[in-house]
Amino acid sequence: MKGELLLFSSVIVLLQVACSCPDKCRCHSSTNFVDCSRQGLAQIPSHLPPQTRMLHLQDNRIHHLPAFAFRSVPWLMTLNLSNNSLSNLAPAAFHGLQHLKVLKLTQNSLLSLESRLFHSLPQLRELDLSSNNISHLPTSLGKTWENLTILAVQQNQLQQLDRALLESMPSVRLLFLKDNLWNCNCHLLGLKLWLEKFIYKGGITDGVICGSPDIWKGKDLLRIPYELYQPCPLPAPHPVSSQAQWQGSAHGVVLRPESHNSGERDLLECELKPKPRPANLRHAIATVIITGVVCGIVCLMMLAAAIYGCTYAAITATYRGGPLAQTNEPGKAEAKERFDSSPA
Ligand SMILES: *[C@@H]1O[C@H](CO)[C@@H](O)[C@H](O)[C@H]1NC(C)=O
Ligand SMILES: *[C@@H]1O[C@H](CO)[C@@H](O)[C@H](O)[C@H]1NC(C)=O
Ligand SMILES: *[C@@H]1O[C@H](CO)[C@@H](O)[C@H](O)[C@H]1NC(C)=O
Ligand SMILES: *[C@@H]1O[C@H](CO)[C@@H](O)[C@H](O)[C@H]1NC(C)=O
């Protein structure tokens, strides 16, 4: 009797856990959709139904995501965290979300992102990071995001975007990049090249408008001619970068030597200078003038040769007493001459 009671109560407890819905949320069990939006929440509610597939947490005041924040909802496919106060995400915040396809983080206060943050999201298709304060994205993800098709980072503070990061998203088709602080120096050449290929293959982007340096401010990166780009100088090996590399490998992440400290130094070193253009132009003009002069001389020489030839032929013809009209047919005259001289 006691055992039955225990079983009965534990079944009730289990049912409660399985069917529970957090206070401020509405749970639609038939669609596994949980809506906790606009509730003034400061944290992720506990006791979310474990089978939840779609979770709306937008328009709240959540400011921090701890590690394994969504451990209780491993089947999540869509997560909306738009319009919160997130500035700080634990690197393992999204760990365990093996099935997540859509992640919305727009309108928060994020400043930067670590590549580790996304290591655990193999199925991600859509990532919206727009309208944050992100100034730095990871240089690479470590491994590819083979299914990511939409990436939105518009309205942030980005100055650079590493080509290696884009290359780790081979399926991306829509890319929102507008309204950032793109620094169109040599470091953005990789992005330019990548974007051209991307558009050629049918990808869609809202464009990269340069924020600096001054000569390119307001210009579209794709319309700046290649000739004006100088390749970035190779970073000279110095203690800081080798230390960074060493630390990187200790963490199992290979940091490229040009990132961080040395990157910023290069950034200063390799600002696009408008100088090369006049120099090139001067070269070009000089080349044209020299070519013109040489051509002119050659033409004059040819003319002189022609005149000399004609005069000579005319004189010879006159000397031999032939009619002047014959010189108009040099072939004949020549043939005659040869005929005249050969038997002798
Ligand atoms: C963001 O959320 C707040 C409530 O936290 C709401 O008042 C506001 O309208 C939301 N903003 C947008 C653009 O939806
Ligand atoms: C996420 O929430 C925002 C409101 O802040 C809304 O505009 C958007 O449509 C939502 N997106 C998804 C996929 O739920
Ligand atoms: C972004 O940072 C600027 C200062 O750098 C600040 O004024 C602004 O409020 C921040 N925006 C958000 C959404 O946090
Ligand atoms: C990408 O999507 C396909 C089809 O849904 C899936 O089979 C594949 O496992 C996904 N890739 C990863 C890395 O999960």
- What gap in Å lies between CA 242 and CA 239, rounded to an integer? 5
**Atom from ligand 4 closest to the CA of residue 123:** 14
Residue 336 lies in a domain: no
| HSE-up of residue 119 (Cα within 13 Å, Cβ side) | 13
- Are 140 and 264 in a shared domain? no
How far is ligand 3, taken at its centre, from the CA of residue 133, in Å? 6
What is the CB < 6 Å shell around ligand 4? 122-123, 146-147
Q: Is the beta carbon of 116 within 6 A of some atom in ligand 2?
A: no
Length of the chain: 344
- Are 265 and 291 in a shared domain? no
Residue type, 251: H
- Are 31 and 143 in a shared domain? yes
Q: Are residues 76 and 44 in contact, defined by beta-carbon separation less than 8 angstroms?
A: no
Residue type, 29: S
How far is ligand 1, taken at its centre, from the CA of residue 61, in Å? 10
Tokens, residue 279: 């120099």
Radius of gyration of the chain (CA): 37
- Ranges of residues in the chain with a pLDDT under 70 are 1-19, 142, 228-231, 235-286, 295, 299, 310, 315-344
Q: Is the beta carbon of 154 within 6 A of some atom in ligand 1?
A: no
- Are 255 and 316 in a shared domain? no
How far is ligand 4, taken at its centre, from the CA of residue 143, in Å? 14
For atom 4 of ligand 3, which residue has the closest CA?
A: 133
Q: End of a domain among 181, 196, 215?
A: 181
Tell me the CATH number at 60.
3.80.10.10
For atom 12 of ligand 3, which residue has the closest CA?
A: 109
- Are 162 and 251 in a shared domain? no
Domain interval for residue 254: 239-272
- Are 298 and 171 in a shared domain? no
Residue 161 lies in a domain: yes
- Are 243 and 167 in a shared domain? no
Q: End of a domain among 181, 210, 225?
A: 181
Q: Is the beta carbon of 108 within 6 A of some atom in ligand 2?
A: no
- Are 125 and 171 in a shared domain? yes
pLDDT value at residue 257: 37
- Are 54 and 141 in a shared domain? yes
- Are 42 and 134 in a shared domain? yes
Residues 6 or more apart whose CB falls under 8 angstroms from that of 120 comprise 92, 94, 95, 96, 97, 98
Which of 38, 81, 82, 83 maximizes ligand 1 atoms within 8 Å of its Cβ, making it the mutation to test the pocket?
Answer: 83
How far is ligand 3, taken at its centre, from the CA of residue 197, in Å? 33
How far is ligand 4, taken at its centre, from the CA of residue 294, in Å? 65
End-to-end Cα, the chain, rounded Å: 145
Domain count for the chain, please give it.
Answer: 3
| Beta bridge partner(s), residue 104 | 80, 128
Q: Write the secondary structure of the chain as one string of H (helix), E (strand) and C (coil).
A: CHHHHHHHHHHHHHHHHHHCCCCCCEEECCCCEEECCCCCCCCCCCCCCCCCCEEECCCCCCCEECCCCCCCCCCCCEEECCCCCCCEECCCCCCCCCCCCEEECCCCCCCECCHHHHCCCCCCCEEECCCCCCCECCCCCCCCCCCCCEEECCCCCCCCCCHHHHHCCCCCCEEECCCCCCECCHHHHHHHHHHHHHHHCCCEECCCECCECHHHCCCEHHHCCHHHCCCCCCCCCCHHHHHHHHHHHHCCCCCCCCCHHHHHHHHHHCCCCCCHHHHHHHHHHHHHHHHHHHHHHHHHHHHHHHHHHHHHHHHHHHHCCCCHHHHHCHHHHHHHHHHHHCCC
- Are 177 and 36 in a shared domain? yes
For atom 13 of ligand 4, which residue has the closest CA?
A: 122
Residue 150 lies in a domain: yes
How far is ligand 2, taken at its centre, from the CA of residue 79, in Å? 9
Q: Is the beta carbon of 83 within 6 A of some atom in ligand 1?
A: yes
Residue 70 lies in a domain: yes
Distance of CA 277 to the CA centre of its chain: 26
- Are 52 and 17 in a shared domain? yes
Burial 179-203 (b: 16+ CB within 10 A, else e): bbebbbbbbbbbbbebbeebeeeee
